[in-house]
Amino acid sequence: MVLAGSVGCGGGPPLDTGDSGPPPDAGPVGPPIALDLGISYPPVSDERQRGFSAEHITDLHARIIRFEDQWSLRQADASAPFVWSGLDAKLDWVVAEDLSLMLTIGVSVPMWACDPAKVSPRTCVPSDLDQFRAYVTALLDHMIERYGRVPADRIQFGNEWLSDFWYPGTGDDFVLQANVVYDAVHAASPATTVVLGSLATSQIAVVAYCEGRVDRYWSSGDGTPPGVWHEAADREAVCGTEAAVAARTKVTTVFEQARYDAVDQHLYDDVEQWPAYLATLREVLIPAGRLPMDVIVSEFGGPNTWLEPDDEAYQAERLPLYVETLDAEGVTEALFFSLVERPDDSTGGPTFHNRSGLMRDEDLTAKPAYWVFRALGERQD
C-alpha cells in the first residue's frame, strides 16, 4: 500500500473513482438495515494511516472497526517489561475519534514462550498458560490505568483458529487460552463483550457440507489456483478423512467448552450459501442452552479472484447482496475487509481476497464499491 507516501496526517486523497466524484447511481436505494456496518483492519500503523482511515470511516458511515494486538509485540523476554507504546497510539486514536472497537488478541506468541511441540509457520501455543495470563491481565490493567476503562466494546482471542496454520494447538489448548481471556475481561470490564475467535468461511462450509446442509463447497486446496470444489458425491470421502474428523473434534470442543458472549463468523465467496452456513453455526455448533446468541461477522467481502471476475463493477454489484443477506439472517454487526486492497498477503496465506477492498491500493482512490458501501451505511437504523 502506498499510503505512507501520499496522505497527510489530516486526511486522504480525493474521494473519487478517477473522475470528479461518486456516480449518480452510486448506491442502492432500499429499506433500513438493522445490522451495524464496520471496517475490519483499516490502516492504523502510524499517524498518517490513522488520519486517512478516520476520514474514510466517517465518510462511509462505518460504526465499528477491528484491529489486533499481539503478545509477541509487547514482551521481548520473560523478565522484560511490557511495551505498550505502539498499542497506545492506536487506542489514543480510537478514543479521540470516539470509535467502537473490536479488539482481537492475536495468537502470536514470543518465541521464548513457545511450546516447541506446538508450532506453525505463523505462531505457536505458549508453554506456560500463566505467562499468557500475565500478558492479558497486564493489557487490561494498562488500558484501565490509561483510559479509565477498556476502550474496546468487544474483545476476542484468535482468528480462524480451526486452521493449524493460525493455531497449531488442539481444541483443548484453544479453550484454555480463550477462557483466560474471557475470565480476565469479565473481571476487569464486565460491560465488554467477549467474542469467540472467528471461523473462516471454508471452516463453517465444511461443517455444513458434512452435515448435509449444502451439497458443495469451495476450499483453497493446496493453496494454488483455482482451489477445489467438493461436490455431494465426494461427501463420504471428504468427511471421513482423519483431518476432517480431527477438525470437527477441535471445533466441537471449542464451541462446547469455551466461554463467550457472542460468536464470530467470517463470510466470503458463495453468498448464496451464507444462510446455510449461519444456520449450521446456530443449530449445530453453538450449544442450544446458549441460544439466542449474537452472531458477528468481523470479516466479509469479495470477490474471490480464484473463482469470480476480478472486476470492480462486479464487486460493486455483489456488495448489496452481501449486506442484505447478513441483515436478513439476523447478523448484528458486519465488518467489511478491507478499506484498501491488499495485493500482497503479508500473512503468508493465499491471496484470493487480495482485491476485496473499497479503495485501490495503487493510488488510494475509491472504487465503485466504496460508494455502494457508503449508501448501505446510510441505510443503517
Backbone CA torsion sign across 48, 51, 52, 54: positive
Instruction: Report strand pairing: 267-268 vs 333-336.
Output: unpaired
Averaged pLDDT for residues 254-266: 98
Exposure string over 196-214, b if 16+ CB within 10 A, otherwise e = bbbbbbbbbbbbbbbbebb
**Rounded distance between C-alpha atoms, residue 299 and residue 267, angstroms:** 6
Q: 19 falls in which pLDDT band (50, 70, 90)?
A: very low
pLDDT category at 308 given cuts 50, 70, 90 is very high
Mean pLDDT of 119-134: 96
Question: 74-103, pLDDT tens digit by residue?
Answer: 999 999 999 999 999 999 999 999 999 999
- pLDDT score for 87: 98
**pLDDT reading at 314 higher than 60:** yes
Paired strand residues for 296 = 264, 333
* Range 229-242 average pLDDT: 96
pLDDT score for 22:
67
Q: What is the pLDDT of residue 27?
A: 55
Above 60 in pLDDT, residue 52? yes
Measured over the CA atoms of residue 225, residue 124, residue 188 and residue 94, the dihedral's sign is: negative
Higher pLDDT, 165 or 323: 323
Q: What is the enclosing helix (H) or strand (E) of 226?
A: none
Percent helix, percent strand, percent coil in the chain, to nearest 5: 40, 20, 40
For the segment 167-182, the average pLDDT, to the nearest whole number, is 98
Number of other residues whose CB lies within 10 A of the CB of residue 163: 18
Q: Can you give the C-alpha Rg of the chain in angstroms? A: 20
Q: Residue 29's pLDDT band (boundaries 50, 70, 90)?
A: confident
Higher-pLDDT residue of 175, 344: 175
Shortest CA distance to 293 belongs to which of 261, 252, 257?
261
The stretches of the chain forming alpha helices (DSSP H) are 3-6, 47-59, 85-97, 129-147, 171-188, 201-210, 235-239, 242-257, 274-280, 312-328, 368-378
Residues 118 and 112 sit within 8 Å (Cβ to Cβ): no
Is 127 in a helix, a strand, or coil?
coil
DSSP-assigned letters across all residues of 315-364: HHHHHHHHHHHHHHTT-SEEEES-SB--SS-TTSS--TTTT--SB-TTT-
Percentage of the chain with pLDDT > 70? 91
Q: Specify which residues 359 forms β-bridges with.
A: 340, 366
Residue 15 confidence (pLDDT) above 60: no
CB 101 within 8 A of CB 154: yes
Helix (H, G, I), strand (E, B) or coil at 178: helix
Over residues 244-258, the mean pLDDT reads 97
pLDDT at 25 over 70: no
pLDDT at 352: 86
Helix (H) or strand (E) holding 21: none
What percent of the chain has a predicted confidence (pLDDT) above 90?
85
Write down the domain spans for the chain: 3-378
pLDDT of 344: 67
**With 90 as the cut, is the pLDDT of residue 3 above it?**
no
Which of the four pLDDT bands, split at 50, 70 and 90, describes residue 129? very high
Grid coordinates representing 241 are 478423512
C-alpha 130/C-alpha 180 separation (Å) is: 9
Architecture label for domain 3-378 = Alpha-Beta Barrel (3.20)
